[in-house]
A and B are shown apart, each in its own frame.
Chain A
Amino acid sequence: MGEDNLNPDLLPGTLYMMILRTLNQEPMHGYAIAKRIRDWSKGDLEVEDGSLYPALNRMLGKGWLKAEWGMTENNRRARFYKLTPAGKKRLEAESSAFNKMIKAIQLVMRTSS
């Protein structure tokens, strides 16, 4: 991991939020999720591909996601993850809470500098 790369675990729960956000547009397989996070963060957020899977397992258990086997455009078998209604609700709740917190942190950082 490069020095300027950020570990998503720095803020607890952010990895779940990002996965939910990624899947909000369309169902995706694990590799694509990791790639999408990397691309959107312009390489600042580096998720070790494997670390994704325990998180996905937990989210399946919580009922936020559903998984189905399907084929990629390159004809590889892969499991595609899809948001459930519960997952959508969770995403909305988390993103508004996250925005609030970011604002709050920014306020704190501004006044103290």
Chain B
Amino acid sequence: MAWWDFLRRDKADREWREEMESHLQISIDAFMAEGMSAEDARSAALVRAGNMTARREEIYRMNGIAVVDSIVGDVRYAIRGLRHNPGFTVVAILTLALGIGANTAVFSVVDGVLLKPLPYPHSEDLIALAQVAPGAGGLIAGSHGLALSSSMYFTYSEQNRSFQTMGVWTGVDVTVSGMAEPEQVPAVLASDGFLQALAIRPEVGRWLLAGDQVPGAAETIVLSYGYWQRKFGGDTSVIGKKVFVDGRPRQVVGVMPASFQIVGTRADLILPLQLDRRHATLPGFYLNGLGRLKPGVSLELANADIARLLPIWMTSWPLSDGGKTGDALAQTVYRAWRIGPNLRPLRDVVVGNVGSVLWVIMGTLGMVMLIACANVANLLLVRTDSRQQELAIRAALGAGWGRIVRQLLMESLLLALAGGAAGVVVAYEGLRFLIHNGPSNLPRLNEITLDSSALAFTFAVALLSGLVFGLIPALKYAGPNVSGSLRGGGRTMSDSGDRQRARNTLVVVQVALALVLLISSGLMIRTFSAMRNVDPGVSQLDQLQIFRVSIPSAIEPSDERATRMENSIADKLAAIPGVRAVGFGTAMPLDEAPPDWDGVLIEGQSYATGSRPPMRLFRNVSPEFFSALGARIVAGRELTWTDIYGKRMYVLVSENLARELWGSPAAAIGKRIRTGDASAWREVVGVAADIRHMGVQEGAPPTVYWPVYGQVPYAGYMLASRNVAYAVRTDRAGTGPLLNEIRQAVWSVNGALPVAQTETMREVFDRSMARTAFTLVMLGIAGSMALVLGLIGIYGVIAYAVSQRTREIGIRLAMGAEPGQVRRMFVRYGLRLGAVGMVVGVAAALGLSRSMKSLLFGVAAVDPVTFAVVPLLLLAAVAAACYVPARRASNVDPVEAMRVK
């Protein structure tokens, strides 16, 4: 049957009717011509014609497409039904739009961050070449693992059998000068093979090639697309131009395309690493490894390959520059470290630990969706209940119960699809909110969009939810005994228990789910406050202005004079009005600067050959560093400039390290330490209070504080800390005028120095808690949605019960029941449902809170306070929600109530 006929068949039907009427007339004419009376002729014609209407219907059906036909009918009927009941329709669609929208938004994030492949060709072959060293103790034993040394790079890249290409890289901040103000720019130092492994061709110019990596070769640089646009206006003549990086000219050879991103960093410049084979040593573990697997090579094979190369590496390189290979001590030490390969898909490294947060949020909003569905299902149950007579009549007129189920389902699906459509709007807005308020260090933020897969997800959720909440009333009311209710005449005395049971179950489910979400939110609130209450070792974070300055050797080759420049910057800063203290060091607490660590030996203690003391965090600090940070000096004193310029071998240690090594802070003063058997002894002159350098959630690491300028712990020569972070303590921290004065102070010492990464210590700490805060906000939103929806649900059920039992209430009141008794009856009814929901909810929360463990801090997964307080609060809310309709019940006028139909 052609579509054209299908579409114009109403017109065709009118024609057939006309034709059949004319047929009848002609037939009557003919019988009358035979001499019949008009009446006889008419009945004879009718007999001969047969059932014309049936024929017409047959033709109509013939011209139709049966399935489409009945669905169009159902849809039309459903729309009419929904339009008649605008209140119900609007509430249902809004509920669904919120639920579906929130889920779609979070799905977009999950999809963009976790599911989509990284934006490199065949990104599934890319792996991060990480290593573990569980025997090394201290920092490397933790989650960071052991990075690669340059000698490892040479051994691995030359002798591996697993990679098409592999390279190493490390992030640095460089100073770019020669264009307007000097500026600190995030950059990546990359070895040969790094860009080749990522396999993204440059937009303009060329890649870094092997020739660029030869030490002493012409210095070259590749720009990011964004940097090229910002600084050169996208001008292709930039190729061949010179850029001054850390005071030295570098030739621009290429520009990467806009889509290119360096493995989760925001680097704007790519510089050749120029590793020097002749000076490579075993240690110096600071490089990140990256490789592209050969086809058919599994992660296990590649791991085994690197494990095979480790002993080769150990015997191929000297322990220090110019030393012999095959050093026995080095081998003992590294063997004790138990170094092993830990290759992981690159995506896991880029995405990091954000996965657990996103999945928890996704699961949470899934629960909100279930609650929303339960609410709509309840609304539908009530609505279908009042339509029982209609359904019964339809059944009596010959509608099969399958047909009635389909009709009811059609309504639910329409509701769900409308909710889904409105949900897309909610999702769009929600996504903007998420991207603006999500943790700024959320990886792959720029890859999140509301795309076709998100829309497909919305559609699927809408259909599925429509089926879920639609089937409940459909199966309940369209069952084989549908006609029975015709006899009831809609005049039921009280609600039948069976019908009530479905609604009650839904309410119990809602309360249980809401409780799970609220307990999760409660646990996050407890986590957040525990984190806020931790003493980070630094006080009054709002009054601490942080920024970085770096003095490249091109600007000041002498280490001592570079230190004196830093010193005079500190003096100028201290002269700014309102500044109370100034200090600087290689890193501030929570800084993402690469950690510096080693073991220390104590004087007077003998060490077995080959054994290594545990790793300690090393920081280089200026005088006044601790008073600027507001960290207490527990014993002794801080360093002074006289100590530093006098090249005195002094250090400070953290309180926990002093207690560990000498029993008490006071006992540490005057004791001596060193880093190796050959290096000079250093005297401990002070003990500083513990500082949580690695983050609020990690305990304060035992730390040794070295002077910013002095003999390098590992070698004999003097070295300045050329890239330092300043801490300025003042009430004016974070204000624009202060930042201007700081810049002026720095530039009065040298105009070529950029002031970078200006922020207050509070901002640094807040950023470190961003993930927790984000989870908290999301769970809070989900929890409140669940609470509101759940309370509406329970309110609805009680209100409906009251309206159904108005007659019964009237009788009770007429018989002398107190209004209070009636009220209590309904509140008790609601509380009973609530209590059942609570029990189920607490059980579920006990099971689920374990999966949140990685997000919690300072609170047990089964936190007794949360598990006691939240259910009590929820129960109170449930009681309040029940009280409103219950009060209406007690106000029923008995006379009016008896008259109600």
Contacts and interface: CB of A to CB of B under 8 A. Distances in A.
Interface stretch (A6-14, A15-23, A75-83, A93-101): A75-83
A49 B25 CA distance: 13
Interface in A27-53: 29-32, 35, 48-51, 53
B287 to A, nearest CB: 77
B50 interface: yes
A2 interface: no
Nearest to B15: A79
Q: Max chain A CB contacts within 10 Å: which of B1, B30, B50, B51? A: B50
A33 to B, nearest CB: 10
B27 interface: yes
Nearest to A46: B48
A53 B16 contact: yes
A57 B26 contact: no
Interface string A45-67: 00011110110011001000000
A72 B51 CA distance: 24
A49 B16 contact: no
A113 interface: no
Contact of A57 (B23, B29, B54, B62): B62
Interface string B16-44: 10111011011101100000000000000
B58 A54 contact: yes
A58 B12 CA distance: 13
Contact of B55 (A51, A74, A77): A51
B19 A54 contact: no
B59 A31 contact: no
- Interface range on chain B (Cβ under 8 Å from partner): 20 to 34
Contacts of B23: 29-31, 49, 78
A49 B48 contact: yes
- Interface range on chain A (Cβ under 8 Å from partner): 20 to 34
A53 B26 contact: no
Given A54-B55, A61-B1, A76 B29 contact: yes
B825 interface: no
A76 to B, nearest CB: 5
A5 to B, nearest CB: 13
B26 A72 contact: yes
A32 B23 CA distance: 9
A29 B5 contact: no
A61 B15 CA distance: 15
A28 to B, nearest CB: 11
Nearest to B59: A57
B5 A61 contact: yes
A50 B49 contact: yes
B25 A76 contact: yes
A50 B50 contact: yes
B26 A76 contact: yes
A74 B29 contact: yes
B349 interface: no
B50 A54 contact: no
B543 interface: no
A10 B2 CA distance: 29
B62 A53 contact: no
Contacts of A79: 15, 19, 22
B48 A48 contact: yes
A74 B1 CA distance: 36
Contacts of B25: 76
17 contacts: A29-B26, A31-B23, A31-B27, A32-B26, A49-B48, A49-B50, A50-B51, A51-B55, A53-B16, A54-B55, A54-B59, A54-B62, A58-B62, A61-B5, A76-B25, A76-B29, A78-B23
The 6 closest A-B pairs by CB, nearest first: A50-B50, A48-B50, A50-B55, A31-B26, A49-B49, A57-B59
Given A53-B55, A77-B18, 17 more contacts: A29-B26, A31-B26, A31-B27, A48-B50, A49-B27, A50-B52, A50-B54, A53-B20, A54-B58, A57-B16, A57-B59, A57-B62, A58-B62, A72-B26, A74-B29, A76-B22, A79-B22
